[in-house]
Amino acid sequence: MIDVNDLRKGAAFELDGDLFLVLDYSHNKPGRGNATVRVKVRNLRSGALFDKTFTSGDRVEDISVDNTTVQYLYHDGDFYNFMDTASYEQLTLDEKMLQDALPYLKENMEVRLKSHNSEPLGIEMPVTVDLVVAEAPFGLTGDTAAGGGTKIVTMETGLKVTTPLFVNTGDTLRIDTRTGAYITRV
């Protein structure tokens, strides 16, 4: 058991039989009364986001989340198949567990599988990924008066990214997986 004052971004805990990951944390001490701890959490089993408020001094069950390197193999209907790179064991994850990672996921990519007591909870993407531009409209040199010289391109995974005008179909771009923003042309 840990005190809710010890919760920080990235911490995982169990409450009422559900597993949660802390996405954001704030501590509020009003002039009178008890301090409160407000956290934004993701239910690791369902993927739902919640805001939870605890009174200072409350306790939650601390859990350990294991990280394993896995390789994405292929998509089969609503399921995504991965292989553990150490044991070569294959596992299948549901689409709802991967909702944030799907725009960046491509075959043969290595990612980190998060699990608790051998129960898969989701994957953690690398900070950046390199994706190929599948479709890019033409950007004209004098086309900067209205939008500052940017255009929206479609990547090989279906992700839409705002890029500079010089990006063309077939270019490889480095994309930040936390924000979905263009970083550079590779």
Q: Is residue 135 domain-shared with residue 116, that is, in the same domain?
A: no
Q: Is residue 8 domain-shared with residue 56, that is, in the same domain?
A: yes
- Domain CATH number, residue 6: 2.30.30.30
Q: What is the pTM of this model?
A: 0.75
Q: Does pLDDT of 132 surpass 70? A: yes
Q: Is residue 118 domain-shared with residue 151, that is, in the same domain?
A: no
What's the mean per-residue pLDDT of the chain? 87
Q: Is residue 71 domain-shared with residue 57, that is, in the same domain?
A: no
**Structural domain range at position 76:** 66-124
Tally of domains within the chain: 3
- Domain CATH number, residue 170: 2.40.50.140
**Could you read off the pLDDT of 56-111 as tens digits, one per residue?**
888 999 888 888 999 999 998 888 999 999 999 999 998 877 878 889 999 999 99
Q: Is residue 119 domain-shared with residue 133, that is, in the same domain?
A: no
What pLDDT score does 148 carry? 63
What pLDDT score does 72 carry? 95
Q: Is residue 108 domain-shared with residue 88, that is, in the same domain?
A: yes
Hey, what long-range contacts does 132-137 have (CB within 8 A, 24 or more apart)? 132/156, 132/170, 132/171, 132/172, 132/173, 133/167, 133/168, 133/169, 133/170, 133/171, 133/172, 133/173, 134/169, 135/169, 136/163, 136/167, 136/168, 136/169, 136/171
